[in-house]
Amino acid sequence: MLQSGFSSLTGGGLLAVLVTVLVTWLFYALTLHLAATFFIGDVPSQLAAKAALAPAIVSLILQRWGVESGVVSADLGVAVVLLLTLIADGIAISLSYRLSTRSTAPLVALHLAFAAVLGFALNNIFMFF
């Protein structure tokens, strides 16, 4: 299936794109809710679900058409994707949780830390890469 001449496992169609967006959104919502609960206290999970959509879409769009298109080098592309995803995350968190910039920045950093640790752990368990 992975050899040239064969179609991919997912087919690369609309369903694959929708499932990828959904899984990424769920991952960001889970890690944001964990970070917000740790930082703010007891918060509704709906706020995390609302705020997680923006960084999920930004990161997927920039990975697909920013890094893979070859406009910038791969190393610089990863930095640009990370920076713009963090900015989108900060704006979405600030609007959803109604926090000031001073309170949003540590929550964005915690969200990055939770997502990195959970992503690293899931990668080691399921061998994604």
Nearest C-alpha neighbor of 35 from the set 101, 78, 95, 90:
90
- Whether residue 8 is predicted with pLDDT greater than 80 in this model: the reply is no
Residue 8 counted as domain residue: no
Please report which helix (H) or strand (E) contains residue 107, including its range.
helix 101-126
Range of the domain at 113: 23-126
Residue 11 counted as domain residue: no
Residue 13 counted as domain residue: no
- Model confidence at 128, pLDDT cuts 50, 70, 90, reads confident
Residue 119 counted as domain residue: yes
pLDDT digits (tens, 9 = 90+) for 35-90: 999 999 999 999 999 999 999 999 998 887 666 666 667 777 788 889 999 999 99
Give the total number of structural domains in the chain.
1
Residue 79 counted as domain residue: yes
Tokens of 117: 């640790």
With 0.95 as the threshold, say if the pTM is over it.
Answer: no
Residue 16 counted as domain residue: no
Neighbours of 118 (CB within 10 A): 14
Q: Which residues contact 25 (CB under 8 A, 6 or more apart)?
A: 49, 52, 53, 56
Residue 75 counted as domain residue: yes
Residue 2 counted as domain residue: no
